Structure 1
Amino acid sequence: MEWLGLQFLTELPESGQVILDCTHNPFLVLLAYVVACAAGFATLDMTERVGHVEKPGSQRLWRWVGAGCLAGGIWAMHFISMLAFQIPIEVNYQLPITLLSLVFALTASWLAMHTLSHPHVTFWQLLRAAVCIGLGIATMHYVGMAAMRSAATTYYDPTLFVLSIVIAIGASLAALLISSHLRDGNGMFHQVLKYTASLVLGAGIVSMHFTGMAALTLVLPVGSLPTLPGENSHLQLGLTVAIITLLIIGSCISAALADKKLQNKEFDLRRVNALLSQLDQARVSLQQVANYDALTNLLNRRGFNHIFAEKLNEKTQNGGLLAVIFLDIDHFKRINDSLGHDAGDELLKVLAQHIKGSVRGHEDVVARFGGDEFCLLISLRDREEARHMAQRIMLKMKEPIELSGRRMVMTTSIGISLFPEDGKTCEELLKNADLALYQSKGSGRNSLHFFSPNLRTRATMELQLEEELRHALREDSGLLLYYQPIYDLKNAKVTKLEALVRWQHPIHGLLAPDRFIAIAEANGLIAELDNWVLRRACADLGELSRHGCEELKIAVNCSPLNLTREELANEIEQILHVTGVAPERLELEVTENALMGNIANSLVLLRQIRALGVSLSIDDFGTGYSSLAYLKRLPLNTLKIDRSFIQDIPKATQDMEIVQAIIVMAHTLHLQVVTEGVETLEQYQFLERHGCDFVQGYLLSRPVPLDEIRAVLDEINRRQHAHMVTALNLARGTTALASTDPFPKSPGPHAGASVVRPIR
C-alpha cells in the first residue's frame, strides 16, 4: 500500500540498500519536547479561559486561539523533530505538503477545543472526539513525512504504524480528560497539577511522533549512490522555529492571563455595581421604613416632620397660611378589645384611605403618627378652609364600614392649629393642635376645635398641678379629707360618713376633686391617691371611735382605674390591719361604669373585697349603662341614686317615678338605698315616704373636715331631738314650743358646713 509516496503495509524489497545508521540530535529532540509541553499547557489554559468567559464572541475567540496554540505546537514539534532526524543522505521537504500537514493539525486542534467548550461532556463523547483528534494528529504526522524528498524509498512497519496511531488517540483522550477536569479549578495545587499534566501531554505527543519515526525504514534503490548531505543548519532552524513557536504560545498564554485578570476586574466591578445597587435599594427601603408607616403606607411622624419643616420654611419666606389638623379615632380601643388587633389594623387601613381621599391630592400631607392618631398638613387661603376640610373628613369617616361581618360607623375628634397665628415652629404647632384635639375629646368627641391661647394656659396649669400633686403625695402635705354625713332614715341618726378628698393648694386655695382627680388618673397617680385616701379615712375613723363614735361607718370612693388592679384587695386588708378598723365599718364606693367595663375581672375582685368583710356600694346609679342581669350577680350592699334624679323633685313627675322604681328594684335585690344630693324638705319627705334607707346632701350638711365633724353630728342629732319633742307636744295640743322655729338658719361652726335646714 502506497500513499503520498510512503510505503505502508508493504514488505521491504529483497534487493536494495537499507540505511541503518539514522540518528536524532538530542538537543533538538529535547527542544521538540519543550514545545510539545508548551502546547499542552496552552491547551489547558485556553480550555479554562473558554469555560470562564461569558460572552459567546469571547468564547469563539479563545477557542480559536487555543486551537492555534495546540496546532502550532504539535506542528512545530513535528518540524523540529524532523530537523533532529539525521541520515547520511540529502533530504529536502516540499512546502505545500508541509503546509497541508499544518491544516490537519489545525483541524484536529479545533475539534479538541470545540469538544472541551461544552460545559458537560460524557466519557463516550470524549472518546469519539479523541479518536478523531488522534487520527488527525497521525494524519498530520504522516502527511508531514510525505513532504520529505530524498533518494531513498520510505517504508513503515505496520505494527509500529498502528501503535503510533493508538498513541495519538490515547494522548488525545488523556488531553481531553485532563482538560475537562482542570478547567474549573484554582489555587496553587491546581497550577502544579496543570504543569504536571502539560508534561504528560507533551510526552504523549512526542511519543506518538517517535513511534512513527521508529516505524520508518529508508531504502536506497539498487545501484544508486547515496548523495552526501550538504552543509545544513538544522540546529539553527530548529531553534528559530522553537523560539517563534514558544513566543507565540507564551503571548497567547499571557493574553489569556491578562484577559482573565481583566475579566476578574470586570466581575469585581459588576459586583461593586451590584452592591451599590443593592445599597441604593436598601437605602430606599430604609428611607421607606424610616419615613412611612408600614400598615397604611402613609407618612409616619419622622417623614411628616421632615416635610413640615420644609413647608414651614417656605411659608416663612414667601408668606401664607398652614393648618395642622390632628385626628383621633373615637373609641378605637373598643375595636381592638372586641374584634382583635387584626381587625383593628384592617379598620385603620380603611380609615387611612378615607382621610387620604378627603384631601386635595399631593398638595396636602397626610401622616399616621401611631395607633389611631393621624395628622394633616394643608396650605390655606383663610381659616374657614381648614374647618371645611375637617368637616369633610368627619363626614367621610361616618360612612359605614364592613368589618369582620359587622357594619360599623366610626367618628373622629379633631384639633386644629394655624401658622403663623398659633405658632411658628413645628413643635409649637403640633403641640397646640394636640391641645385642641384634647379639648374636642373632652367635650364629648366627634367634634372639632381650633387652638386658643386659654388651652395653653390650661395645659400649663395641669402640668404644674400634676407636679405639685406628685409632690403632695410624696411629702403627704396639702391633701385633706372632708366628710359628709349620711343620715339613716329608719334609725333617725347619722350612721355613715363619706370621705371626700380635697387639696389645700398653696396658690389656688382649696381645690375640689374635679380639679385634680382627672390629672391623677391621666398621669398614673390615682392608685397612690386612692391608697392615701383609704389610709387617712381609716385612721380618722379610728380617731372618731376613740371619741365615742364607735358605730360610725365610713364610705370611700374607688377610682375606675384603681378597680382594675388585682392587688387592691390585699392593700385594703393591710390598711385595715394597720389602722385597727373592723372591715364591717368600711364601705367602698364604685361607679357602675367602672364595674361594667370589665365585668369578669371586676366580679372576681369585688368578691375578694367582700370576703374581707368590707361593704360595697355602687355609686351614681342610673348614669351609666349597667345591666340588671349583671347587677344581681355583683356582691353589693348598697345602691346610691345619683343626684340628677332627685334635684327636680317634686316638680318632675318622671324623676319621681324613676326614683320609686329604683328603690323598689334595689330592695328586691336586697340592697340598701342611699340618695345623694338631697337639699330640700320636699325631697327628704318624698324619699322617706317611699322607703329610701339613707339620704345625703346639703340639707344635712356640706362636707366638713375631721375636726368639725363631731360638732356637725351633734347639731344634726340635737335638731332631730328638738323636732321630735315639738312633734310630740303638737300631738298633745301644747303649742308652747311650737311658737318658735326649732331649726333656725345658723352659720354653724364652719362657714361652709352649717346645718341650714331641718331634716323634717
Structure 2
Amino acid sequence: MEWLGLHFTTELAESGQVILQCVHDPFLVLLAYLVACASCFATLDMAERINHAQKPASQRLWRWIGAGCLAGGIWAMHFIGMLAFQAPIDVHYHLPITLLSLLIALCASWLAMHTLSLPTLNFRQCCKASIIIGLGIATMHYVGMAAMRSQATAYYHPGLFILSIMIAIGASLAALLLASYLRNGLGIFHQLRKCAASLVLGAGIMSLHFTGMAAFDLALPTGSQLTQPGENNHLQLGLTVAVMTLLIIGSCISAALADKKLQHKDRDLLRVNSLLTQLDQARMSLQQVAHYDALTNLLNRRGFNQLFAEKLLERTHAGGMLAVLFLDIDHFKRINDSLGHDAGDELLKVLARHIKSSVRSHDDVVARFGGDEFCILIDLHDRDEARQMAQRIMLKMKEPIELSGRRMVMTTSIGISVFPEDGKTCEELLKNADLALYQSKDGGRNGLNFFSANLKARAMLELQMEEELRHALREDTGLMLYYQPILDLKTDQVSKLEALIRWQHPVHGFLAPDRFIGIAEANGLITELDNWVLRKACADLGELARQGCGHLKIAINCSPLTLAREELSDEISLALRSAGVEPHRLELEVTESALMGNIAETLVLLQQIRALGVSLSIDDFGTGYSSLAYLKRLPLNTLKIDRSFIQDIPKSTQDMEIVQAIIVMAHTLHLEVVTEGVETFEQYQFLECHGCDFVQGYLLSRPIPLTELQPVLNEINQRKHSYSVRRLGLAHGTSALT
C-alpha cells in the first residue's frame, strides 16, 4: 500500500534491498521532549483559563491560544525529532507537506481545546474526542514523515504503525482527562500536579513519535550509489525551532498568568464591591432599625431627635415656630392585660395609621417613642394650628376599631410645647411637652394642654422634693411619725394608735403626707418610705412598752406597691424582732384597691402576715370595690369606715343608713369596725348607739408626736363614759377642730 509516496507493506522485498541503519541525536531528542512537556503544560494552563473566563470572547481567545500552543508544541516536537533523525544518505524535507502537517496539528489541537471548553465533560465525550484528536495527531506525524525526501524508499511495519495510532489516541484521552481534572484548582500543589501531568503527557507524545519512527525503515536497491549526506545544520535549526516555540509557549503562559492575576483582582474587586454593597445594605438596614420603629414603621426616638435637631437649627436661623405634640394612649395597658400583647401591637398599628393620616403633609414628623407614646413635630404660624391638629387627632382616635372580635374606642391625652416660647433645645421642648401631657392625664385624660411656666415650676419642685426625700430616707433626718389615738367604745380607753408620717422639710417646713406621698409613689420611693415607717413604728412600740403602755397597738398604712412585694412578710418579721415587740401589737392597714390588684397573690401574702400574729385592717372601706365576695376570703381583723361617710352625720340620713349597714355587715363577717374622721359629739353618739367598736378623729385628738402622747392618753382614759365625751368636745373643741 502506498500513500504520499510511503509504502505500507508487511515485508520488504526478499532480495535487492539494503536496509539503512539510522540513529537519533540524543540532545535533539531531549530537546524535543522538553518542547512536548512545555506544550502540554501550556495546554493545561489554557484549559484552566478557558474554564475561568467569564466572557465568551475571552473563552474563544484562550481556546485559540491553547490550540496554537498545543499544535506548535506537538509540531515542533515532531520537527525537532525528525531533525534528530540521522541517516547515511542525504535527506531533505518538502516544505508544503511540512506546513500541511502543521495545519493538521492545529485542527486537532483546536478540537482538543474546544472539548476542554465544555462546561461539563464526561468520559464518553472524552473518548469520542480523543479518537479524533489521536487520529489527527497521528496524521500530522505521518504527513510530516511524508515530507521526507531521499533516494531511499520508506517502509513501515503495520503492527508498530497501528500501535503508534493507538498511543496517539491513548495520549489524547489521557490529556483530555487530566486537563478536565486540573482545570479547577489553586495553590502550589495544584501547579506541581500540572507539572507532573505535563511530564507524563510529554512522554506520551514522544512515545507516539518514536513508535512511528520505530515502524519506519529506509531501503535502497542493491548496488545503488549512496549519496553522502552533506553538511547540515540540524542542531542549529532544532535549537532555533525549540527556542522560538518555547518563547511563544512561555509568552502564552505568562499571558495566562497575567490574566489569572487580573481575573483574581477582578474577582477581588467584585468581592469588594459585593461586600461594599452588602455593607451599604447592612448600613441601610441598621439605619432603618436605628431610626425607625419596627412595629409601626414610624420614626423612633433616635430618628425623631435627629430630624428635630435639623428642623430646630433651620428655624433658629430662618425664624418661625415649631410645635411638639406628645401623645399617650389612654388606658392602653388594659388592652395588653385583657387581650394580650399581640392584640396590643395590632391596635398600635391602627392608631399609628390614624395619627399619620391626621397630619397635614410629609413635612410633619410622626414618631413612636415606645410603648403607647407618640410624638409629632409640625411647622406652624400660630398656636391654634397645633390645637387644631391635636383636636383632629383626638377626633380620629375616637373612630371605632375592630380588634379580636371586639369593637372599641380609644382616646388619647396630648401635651404641646411650642418653639421658641417654651424652649430653645430639643430636650427642653420634649420635656415641656411631656409635662403638658401629664397635666392632661391629671385632668382626667382625653384632653390636650399647652405647656405653661407653672408646670415647669411644679416639676422642678417635685424633682427637688424627690432628691430631698431620698436624702431624708438615706440619712434618716426630717422624717417623723405622729400618732392619732383610737378609742375603744367598749372600754372607753385608747387601745390603738394610727401612725401618720410627717416631714420636717428644711425649706418648706412641716409637711403633711399629701405633699410628698405622691412623689414617693411616682419615683419608686414608697416601698422604702413604708419600710421606714414600719421600722420606726416597731421601735416606738418598744418605747411605749418601756413607758408602761405595752397594751397599745400601732396601726400603719401599707401602700399598694408595698403590698405587691413578696418580701413584705419577711420585712415585718425582721422589724418586730429587731425592736423586741410582740406581733399582735402591730396592725397593717391596706386599702381596697391594693387588695383587689391581684387577689390570689395578695391573699397568700396576707395569710403569711396573719401567721406572724400581725393584725390586718382594710382602710377607707366604702370608697373602692366593697365586695363581700372578697371580704369573706381575706384574713382581716378590722374594717375601717372612710371619713366621707361620717362628715355629714347626722344631717345625711343616707350616710347614716350606709354606716349602719357597714357595721352590721362587718360584725356578720366577725370584723371589728373603726370609724375615722369623728369630729362632733353627735357623730360619736351615733356610732356608739349603733355598735361601732372604735372611733378616731379630731374629737379625741389631733395626731401628735410620741413625746407628747402620754399626757393626752392619760386625759382621754381618765374620763368617765357618761360625760367625758361631751366635756372633751367642749373643753378641747378649739384645739381639736382647728
> How would you bin the TM-score normalised by the shorter chain?
over 0.9
The reply on whether 1:327 has 2:309 as its aligned counterpart is no
In the alignment, residue 486 of structure 1 is paired with which amino acid? I
Q: 1:744 to 1:227 in 2, by over 3 A?
A: closer
Inter-partner Cα distance in structure 1 for 2:722 and 2:711: 16
Deviation of residue 219 (structure 1)? 2.7
Inter-partner Cα distance in structure 1 for 2:615 and 2:497: 14
Aligned positions of 1:438-587 closer than 5 A: 438-547=438-547, 549-587=549-587
The reply on whether 1:386 has 2:378 as its aligned counterpart is no
Q: Is contact 1:43–1:70 with CA below 8 Å preserved after alignment?
A: yes
Deviation of residue 384 (structure 1)? 1.9
Q: 1:366 to 1:626 in 2, by over 3 A?
A: farther
Q: Is contact 2:133–2:172 with CA below 8 Å preserved after alignment?
A: yes
Q: 1:654 to 1:386 in 2, by over 3 A?
A: farther
Aligned positions of 1:182-201 closer than 5 A: 182-201=182-201
* 404-413 or 2-11, larger mean C-alpha shift: 404-413
Aligned positions of 1:166-181 closer than 5 A: 166-181=166-181
Q: Is contact 1:101–1:140 with CA below 8 Å preserved after alignment?
A: yes
- 1:79 is matched with which residue? 79
1:481-510: CA deviations, max 9, x gaps? 222222333433433221111111122121
- 1:364 is matched with which residue? 364
The reply on whether 1:606 has 2:606 as its aligned counterpart is yes
Deviation of residue 717 (structure 1)? 4.8
Secondary structure at the aligned position of 1:356 is classed as: helix
Q: 1:315 to 1:720 in 2, by over 3 A?
A: farther
- 1:265 is matched with which residue? 265
Inter-partner Cα distance in structure 1 for 2:19 and 2:340: 108
Q: 1:326 to 1:93 in 2, by over 3 A?
A: same
Q: 1:197 to 1:685 in 2, by over 3 A?
A: same
In the alignment, residue 736 of structure 2 is paired with which amino acid? S
Report the aligned-residue RMSD. Answer: 2.5
Normalising to structure 2: TM-score of the pair?
0.94
In the alignment, residue 125 of structure 2 is paired with which amino acid? Q
Inter-partner Cα distance in structure 2 for 1:589 and 1:175: 99
Aligned positions of 1:123-522 closer than 5 A: 123-221=123-221, 225-522=225-522
* 584-593 or 294-303, larger mean C-alpha shift: 294-303
Q: 1:679 to 1:31 in 2, by over 3 A?
A: same
Deviation of residue 743 (structure 1)? 5.9
Q: Is contact 2:20–2:220 with CA below 8 Å preserved after alignment?
A: no
* 496-505 or 1-10, larger mean C-alpha shift: 1-10
In the alignment, residue 534 of structure 2 is paired with which amino acid? L
Ranges in structure 2 where 5+ consecutive residues have no aligned partner: none
Secondary structure at the aligned position of 1:363 is classed as: coil
Q: 1:358 to 1:652 in 2, by over 3 A?
A: farther
Ranges in structure 1 where 5+ consecutive residues have no aligned partner: 726-740
- 2:712 is matched with which residue? 712
Q: 1:208 to 1:538 in 2, by over 3 A?
A: closer
Secondary structure at the aligned position of 1:619 is classed as: strand
1:32-66: CA deviations, max 9, x gaps? 22221221111111111112222222122211211
Deviation of residue 424 (structure 1)? 0.4
In the alignment, residue 218 of structure 2 is paired with which amino acid? L
Q: Is contact 2:681–2:729 with CA below 8 Å preserved after alignment?
A: no
Aligned positions of 1:20-31 closer than 5 A: 20-31=20-31
Secondary structure at the aligned position of 2:362 is classed as: helix
Inter-partner Cα distance in structure 2 for 1:681 and 1:627: 31
Q: Is contact 1:18–1:217 with CA below 8 Å preserved after alignment?
A: no
- 2:668 is matched with which residue? 668
Secondary structure at the aligned position of 2:560 is classed as: coil
Inter-partner Cα distance in structure 2 for 1:379 and 1:690: 67
- 2:57 is matched with which residue? 57
Deviation of residue 374 (structure 1)? 2.1
Inter-partner Cα distance in structure 1 for 2:544 and 2:236: 136
Secondary structure at the aligned position of 1:392 is classed as: helix
Q: 1:619 to 1:721 in 2, by over 3 A?
A: closer
- 1:38 is matched with which residue? 38
Deviation of residue 563 (structure 1)? 0.8
Q: 1:626 to 1:46 in 2, by over 3 A?
A: farther
Secondary structure at the aligned position of 2:495 is classed as: strand
- 1:94 is matched with which residue? 94
Q: 1:721 to 1:40 in 2, by over 3 A?
A: closer
- 1:632 is matched with which residue? 632
Q: Percent identity?
A: 78
Deviation of residue 445 (structure 1)? 2.8
In the alignment, residue 326 of structure 1 is paired with which amino acid? F
In the alignment, residue 367 of structure 1 is paired with which amino acid? A
Q: Is contact 1:413–1:448 with CA below 8 Å preserved after alignment?
A: yes
* 374-383 or 661-670, larger mean C-alpha shift: 661-670
How many residues are matched? Answer: 738
Q: 1:528 to 1:31 in 2, by over 3 A?
A: closer
Deviation of residue 226 (structure 1)? 4.0
Q: Is contact 1:702–1:754 with CA below 8 Å preserved after alignment?
A: yes
Q: 1:216 to 1:334 in 2, by over 3 A?
A: same
Q: Is contact 1:745–1:755 with CA below 8 Å preserved after alignment?
A: no
- 2:736 is matched with which residue? 754
Q: Is contact 1:89–1:229 with CA below 8 Å preserved after alignment?
A: yes
Q: 1:628 to 1:722 in 2, by over 3 A?
A: closer
Deviation of residue 529 (structure 1)? 1.8
Q: 1:667 to 1:409 in 2, by over 3 A?
A: farther
Q: 1:89 to 1:537 in 2, by over 3 A?
A: closer
Q: Is contact 2:484–2:704 with CA below 8 Å preserved after alignment?
A: yes
Q: Is contact 1:91–1:149 with CA below 8 Å preserved after alignment?
A: yes
Q: 1:91 to 1:576 in 2, by over 3 A?
A: closer
Deviation of residue 165 (structure 1)? 1.1
* 65-74 or 124-133, larger mean C-alpha shift: 124-133
Secondary structure at the aligned position of 1:561 is classed as: helix
Q: Is contact 2:20–2:219 with CA below 8 Å preserved after alignment?
A: no
Secondary structure at the aligned position of 2:674 is classed as: strand
- 2:108 is matched with which residue? 108
Normalising to structure 1: TM-score of the pair?
0.91
- 1:5 is matched with which residue? 5
- 1:16 is matched with which residue? 16
Deviation of residue 742 (structure 1)? 4.9
Secondary structure at the aligned position of 1:185 is classed as: coil
In the alignment, residue 311 of structure 1 is paired with which amino acid? K
Q: Is contact 1:746–1:755 with CA below 8 Å preserved after alignment?
A: no
Deviation of residue 746 (structure 1)? 4.5
In the alignment, residue 331 of structure 2 is paired with which amino acid? H
In the alignment, residue 556 of structure 1 is paired with which amino acid? I
Secondary structure at the aligned position of 1:423 is classed as: coil
Deviation of residue 402 (structure 1)? 4.0
Q: Is contact 2:51–2:119 with CA below 8 Å preserved after alignment?
A: yes
Inter-partner Cα distance in structure 2 for 1:482 and 1:15: 151
Inter-partner Cα distance in structure 1 for 2:507 and 2:392: 44
Q: Is contact 2:560–2:591 with CA below 8 Å preserved after alignment?
A: yes
* 79-88 or 100-109, larger mean C-alpha shift: 79-88
Q: 1:22 to 1:744 in 2, by over 3 A?
A: closer
- 1:733 is matched with which residue? none
Inter-partner Cα distance in structure 1 for 2:230 and 2:365: 102
Secondary structure at the aligned position of 2:667 is classed as: helix
Deviation of residue 286 (structure 1)? 2.0
Secondary structure at the aligned position of 1:314 is classed as: helix
* 203-212 or 393-402, larger mean C-alpha shift: 393-402
In the alignment, residue 397 of structure 1 is paired with which amino acid? M
Inter-partner Cα distance in structure 2 for 1:474 and 1:189: 75
Deviation of residue 523 (structure 1)? 2.5
Inter-partner Cα distance in structure 1 for 2:87 and 2:547: 150
In the alignment, residue 251 of structure 1 is paired with which amino acid? S
Deviation of residue 329 (structure 1)? 2.7
Deviation of residue 547 (structure 1)? 4.5
